[in-house]
Amino acid sequence: MSNRKLVAGNWKMHTDRSEAIKLTTEIIRLSKMSDVEILLAPPHCLIPLVGNLIADLPYIELAAQNISEHKSGAYTGEVSAHMLHSLGVSYVILGHSERRKYFGETDQIILSKIRRAISTELKVIYCCGEGLEDRNTAIQNKIIEAQIQSSVLQLTPDQMQDIVIAYEPIWAIGTGVTARPDQAQQMHAFIRSILADHFGEQIAMQVPIIYGGSVKSNNAQELFAQADIDGGLIGGASLDAESFVAITEAFE
């Protein structure tokens, strides 16, 4: 277990201006300062708005859902890491299965985004996860090992300070089917062992490994009680302030 606890809400392509104000205001009203880092990842265009609302709360930080792999230039429609950093964003979610599936993000693109983020002082929530077929044919460890190998194992030990890993089995994302706590724990321990073999025990213990995939207020406690689960990446339930805040409080 890492000594950091972290819960991130990925709002995906949801909320408009007034919904974002309402959701953020409710989260602020219901949450209290603790040792849990709370991250909100609104759509890019709502980041300044949400950022202004949480400006006085040191325990709530901003995350982005994506960055361009390029530094700057003629890339119509893209948003750079620096632009987001200049708006107060501290984290970016990279490697999410929706970016891999719908936007063709390869391991190579994801690695170049990870490097771009770190060099721009953004921390990274790196998502990995196997599909249902992989799990049914019991090759999930091989899939995760290959994803970790192509991404964080390419970094230096120093750069690992800026990495959070999110294990998100694709079959659990947005499906209402959560990995059993023992299944999630097994994979988190496996990821930590890969980090320990490559970087050593100390770094492996420092990197938070969070779980994502249909985490709700009624299953978070059991998941977060597992030895190697340091928090959650929350999709659907992050759009409901009461559920989201309850999840941030589901640590023992």
The minimum distance between CB 219 and ligand PEP, in angstroms, equals 11
Residue 10 engages ligand PEP in binding (rule: CB under 6 A): yes
Any residues with CB less than 8 A from the CB of 38 and at least 6 apart, and which? 7, 8, 9, 27, 31, 59, 60, 61, 248
Task: Specify the residue, 10 or 226, whose C-beta has the smaller distance to ligand PEP.
Answer: 10
The minimum distance between CB 235 and ligand PEP, in angstroms, equals 2
Task: Specify the residue, 81 or 166, whose C-beta has the smaller distance to ligand PEP.
Answer: 166
The 8-class DSSP code of residue 73 comes to S
Any residues with CB less than 8 A from the CB of 250 and at least 6 apart, and which? 217, 220, 221, 223, 224
- State the DSSP H helix or E strand holding residue 5, giving kind and residue range, or none if neither: strand 5-10
Among 105, 162, 168, 230, binds ligand PEP (CB under 6 A): 168
The total number of residues shown for the chain amounts to 252
Among 174, 177, 197, 201, binds ligand PEP (CB under 6 A): 174
Residue 61 annotated to the active site: no
The residue from 96, 105, 130, 188 that is catalytic is 96
Show contacts with ligand PEP in window 210-249 (CB under 6 A): 212-215, 233-237
The residue from 69, 98, 105, 168 that is catalytic is 168
Task: Specify the residue, 9 or 148, whose C-beta has the smaller distance to ligand PEP.
Answer: 9
CA–CA dist 102, 229 (Å, integer): 28
3-class DSSP assignment, residue 234: strand
* SS percent in the chain: helix, strand, coil, step 5: 45, 15, 35
Among 6, 23, 173, 210, binds ligand PEP (CB under 6 A): 173
Residue nearest to ligand PEP (CB): 235
Residue 14 annotated to the active site: no
Which amino acid, 57?
Answer: L
Active-site residues, by number, are 96, 168
Interaction site with ligand PEP (CB under 6 A): 10, 168, 173-174, 212-215, 233-237
